[in-house]
Structure 1
Amino acid sequence: MKLHNGTLYWPNTNSIEFSVESPELPKKQYDAIVVGGGISGCLTAYKLMKEGLSVAILEKGKFGFGSTAASTGLLHYSNDIMLSELIQQIGEKEAIRFYQLCYQALDDIENIVNELPHDVDFVRRPSIRYASDETDVNKLRNEYETLYMNHFPCEFWDESTLSFYMPFKKPAALVTFRDAEINPLKFITNLLIYLQDRGVDLFEGTVVTESSYDNQLVQLKTTTHLFQAKDVVYTIGCEENENAKKDDVIFNRSYVMVTKPVQSNTQWHEKAMIWETKRAYLYLRTTPEGGIMAGGMDEHISEAPVDERVVEKCALKLLKQVQSLFPHLELEVDCCYASTIAESKDQLPFIGAHPTKPHHYYLHGYGGNGTVYSALGSNIISDLIAGRKNEDANIVAPIRKEKMDKLPFSSIA
């Protein structure tokens, strides 16, 4: 499955030298094997390595060049599903706790970043979510009140306040604080350097073809070697054909456009990350080089378009939307691409143990907040593998309470 097409932005920003030094043969046995070498897999391997376990990561292609390379690097504690909506869906206690986990995950990511050998352009930013039209004002106000009552840092801006801070007018906005942006490719490259230097074995070009449990060990047959481990964690959420079933997961394609650097943009308040209430939503951030990255125009098609002219046409539409918000800027497309994105129908990730296959675990951070989900999920997985009870695991369990008869993914990745 082709996850993206076009010209990716992040590879041209990453000058960190890194080469995978795979062992000629894997260890006879690992404590844990992680299948998938994106952000989810590397964060999981990091947590398991910190537990003192022997760990290997298996990646079917090149590390970091699946969904990670196409990520826009936006990190929010707020999610595609608002807290007020999530309370209606799963109840107040669990919904608030899930939002707390997302908020804590941002701190976890920052702590990991501070351990890494090179800068990864992690910067704390506010997020501005504006009402696309008047009908969404009350929804934003209700979400603000829900967040504020539960001690999440936020503000509600009316039209005049928003227009004071930004060069565009919208009916209202919800502003959340202590969010962040990151260069996802620099992040994963640094993580891989860190992990490899500390004994985590990395295997590229390694596809799992069969998984079983025998003699108290997980047996993984791959295109290169036979691997054995006490536990295996699958972190390959966007591989539609190999991983997720369509009845619980939606696969779309989304478009991203990055402009050439612009002159000083003092009218962009604190370089806040921006998104809107309507779906599919437009979202924006600045880049360290001074450009604007914008994404959106989601389509109900799972694979990126083969024809790059389609990508370029959508990029011009995104440019027009950005220009309408910042009419004082002279903007020009620098690069653009389309990528596959996955989201669960209930807007929550799938994290936890397979109910019938012993010692098989899953971390699928479906949704627009995948890196944050990966960070909170790696904590849950490490607890479960270490034999510690995790009180939060039931919120994101692979089998939801209302669907105890099936899994949202196949048992073999």
Structure 2
Amino acid sequence: MELHKGSLYWPTTYQAPHRKKPAQKEDCYDAVIVGGGMSGALTALSLLDRGLQIAVLEKRRFAAGSTSANTGLLQYSNDIMLHELIEQIGRNDAVDFYRSCLQAMGQLKNIADRLAVNPYFICRESIYYASGEDDAERIKKEFQTLSTYGFPCAYWDRNDLLNNAGIDRPCAIVTFGDAEVNPYVFTNGIFDLAETKGAHLFEFTEMLDVTERGGQLAISSTEGELRTKNIIFTTGYETLPIGKRIGADINRSYVIVTEPLKESHAWYKDALIWETKRPYLYLRTTADNRIIVGGLDENSGEMEITDELISKRGNELRRKFNEVFPHLDIGIDYAYCATFGESIDNLPFIGEHPTRKNHFYLLGYGGNGTVYSMLGAEILADRLFGIEHPASHIVQLARKNGKGKSKMIL
């Protein structure tokens, strides 16, 4: 599957190391992780921190798939508002899930502080504005719900939003405790740390098959056979190597990265910005004073992605940006299209396969993928030690919504 096309920005900011393939472990690994992106890196570190012996297989270079196209907005809020998630799965589970995402934000910061490289993890506020008057009541209700359950946030009316941020929209929620990151550096830095802790990292190594043999799992790969007690698939939006995806759609989004701005700050505190409209426009700045603009999400369909289409969508994003900030004149340095996954119920898929013992999945589908990856890494690490994470039943692979209908079974 082609995960992205066009000119990517993040790989230009960091020279990823060429890793020498290690000798394979002669006996059994505690876990083998298939997928060397953000999810694989965070899962590897969580398992290593608990003393497990692990290997990671990646058919490309590490962080070269969807991670290199990740826009690096980290937020505890989700594509589905908390009050809407409460209606979908019930108050306790919805609030617990949001609290788990807020906790994951703190865990991501702690990891960033441990790295030998600077991943430009910067704490930011987020501005979530009502795209039109029809969404103003939803914003007010969401603010009231977040406040009721103690989530850090504030409410801005039109005057507040215009005076503080220069955005002329009906109202907004400002959330605190969010962040931005360079996902390419972050993921490579985690793998650097994992390597020092004894992880066996195999780049350009494709998993071919997995079979049970003598109470262990035998993984056939292009580098030979590895034996493990557990296998964890962190393959993102790729076609699953084992199993079948149900209850999720693979779509695509477009992104532009501007030329460096002359202004020292593009807008209020360089906050992360997004909107209620679907598909939504989302904005952030970078350490070298660029602006990242994303949006125009669409179903993958059969339409071929061409350079001309990427250029066309890039210019559309620039026009949409100027509808929000008409005074900022931006030029486009990078433009690309990226694949992303969305689950039907707006929640990730994390947990053990319902019929294949010791087969685990971390698929962080949705607009909050990095936070889901952190949450999933902790859920799976707990699971391997026989601990039930408070959010594990919410994101399990075979789950039901409030109407009792199955969402996903692999």
> TM-score when scaled to structure 2?
0.96
CA displacement at 1:305 relative to structure 2: 4.5
Q: What's the offset of the Cα at 1:361?
A: 0.7
Q: 2:221 maps to which residue?
A: 222
Contact 1:303/1:339 (CA < 8 Å) preserved in 2? no
2:259 corresponds to which residue?
Answer: 260
- Measured after TM superposition, the shift of residue 176 of structure 1 is 0.6
Amino acid at match of 1:2: E
Q: How far has the Cα of 1:266 moved from its partner?
A: 4.5
Residue 339 (str. 1) matches residue 348 (str. 2): no
Task: Give the conservation status (yes or no) of the 8 Å contact 2:33–2:57.
Answer: yes
| Residue 35 (structure 2) pairs with residue 2 (structure 1) | no
> Alpha carbons of 1:21 and 1:290: their partners in 2 closer, same or farther (altered >3 Å)?
same
Q: Which letter does structure 2 place at the counterpart of 1:18?
A: P
**25-34 or 303-312, which deviates more:** 303-312
Does 323-332 or 53-62 show the bigger shift? 323-332
Aligned mates of 2:303, 2:6 — CA distance in 1: 9
Q: Find out whether 1:373 has 2:372 as its counterpart.
A: yes
CA contact (8 A) 1:213 1:357 kept: no
In the aligned structure 1, how far is the partner of 2:292 from the partner of 2:78? 19
Whether 1:330 aligns to 2:319 is: no
Whole-Å separation in 1 of the counterparts to 2:406 and 2:87:
23
RMSD of aligned C-alpha atoms?
1.9
Q: 1:405 to 1:316 in 2, by over 3 A?
A: closer
Partner of 1:96: 95
Distance change in 2, residues 1:244/1:373 (3 Å): farther
Counterpart secondary structure, 2:103: helix
Which of 239-248 and 146-155 deviates more?
A: 239-248
**1:304 Cα shift?**
8.9
Instruction: Tell me, yes or no, if the aligned pair for 1:6 and 1:337 is still in contact at 8 Å.
Output: yes
1:61 aligns with 2:60: yes
SS of the counterpart of 1:30? Answer: coil
8 Å CA contact retained: 2:354, 2:409: no
1:313 equivalent to 2:325? Answer: no
In structure 2, distance between residues paired with 1:283 and 1:13: 21
- After superposition, the Cα gap between the structure-2 partners of 1:9 and 1:378, relative to the gap in structure 1 and judged at 3 Å, is same
The superposition leaves residues 58-114 of structure 1 with CA deviations (integer Å, 9 ceiling, x where unpaired) of: 001111010100000000000000000000000000000000000000000011111
Contact 1:121 1:182 in 2 (8 A): yes
CA separation of 1:180 and 1:246: change in aligned 2, threshold 3 A: same
Percent of pairs with identical residues: 42
Letter aligned with residue 34 of structure 1: I
Correspondences of 1:116-135 after superposition (within 5 Å) = 116-135=115-134
Contact conserved, 2:42 with 2:373, CA < 8 A, in 1?
A: yes
Counterpart residue number, 1:195:
194
Q: Which runs of 5+ in 2 are unaligned?
A: none
What amino acid is aligned across from residue 32 of structure 1 in structure 2? A
For 1:166 and 1:305, locate their aligned partners in 2 and report how far apart those are by CA, in whole Å: 38
Quick one: structure 1 residues 304 and 137, their matched pair in 2 at CA, closer, same or farther if it must change by over 3 Å?
Answer: same
Q: Which residue of 2 aligns with 1:408?
A: 408
- 1:181 to 1:304, Cα distance in 2 relative to 1, 3 A: farther
SS of the aligned residue for 1:293 comes to strand
* Bigger Cα displacement from structure 2, 246-255 vs 133-142: 246-255
Looking at structure 2, the residues matched to 167 and 406 of structure 1 have their Cα atoms a distance apart, in angstroms, of 44
Contact 2:256 2:317 in 1 (8 A): yes
CA contact (8 A) 1:244 1:409 kept: no
Counterparts of 1:25 and 1:309, CA distance in 2: 45
CA separation of 1:176 and 1:351: change in aligned 2, threshold 3 A:
same
User: Secondary structure at 2:30's aligned position in 1?
Assistant: strand
Q: Which amino acid aligns with 1:67?
A: S
> 1: CA distance between counterparts of 2:395 and 2:73?
21
Task: Indicate yes or no: 2:288 matched with 1:289.
Answer: yes
Conserved in 1, the CA contact under 8 Å of 2:57 and 2:205? yes
Q: Deviations 1:259-300 (Å, cap 9, x if unpaired)?
A: 101111546111000001010000000111111100000111
Query: Are the structure 2 counterparts of residues 298 and 232 from structure 1 closer, same or farther at C-alpha, using a change threshold of 3 Å?
Result: same
Deviates further, 317-326 or 237-246? 237-246
Deviates more, 1:107-116 or 1:218-227: 218-227
Q: Which amino acid aligns with 1:183?
A: N
C-alpha contact (below 8 Å) 1:243/1:409 kept by paired residues: no
TM-score (normalised: structure 1): 0.95
Residue in 2 aligned with 1:156? Answer: 155
* 2: CA distance, partners of 1:267 / 1:395: 38
Tell me, yes or no, if the aligned pair for 2:400 and 2:406 is still in contact at 8 Å.
no
Partners of 1:273 and 1:213 lie apart in 2 by: 46
Change (3 A) 1:173 1:407: closer
What residue in structure 2 maps to residue 12 of structure 1? 12
Q: Distance in 1 between matches of 2:311 and 2:242?
A: 30
Q: Which residue of 2 aligns with 1:147?
A: 146
SS at match of 2:128: strand
Q: Which residue of 1 aligns with 2:390?
A: 391
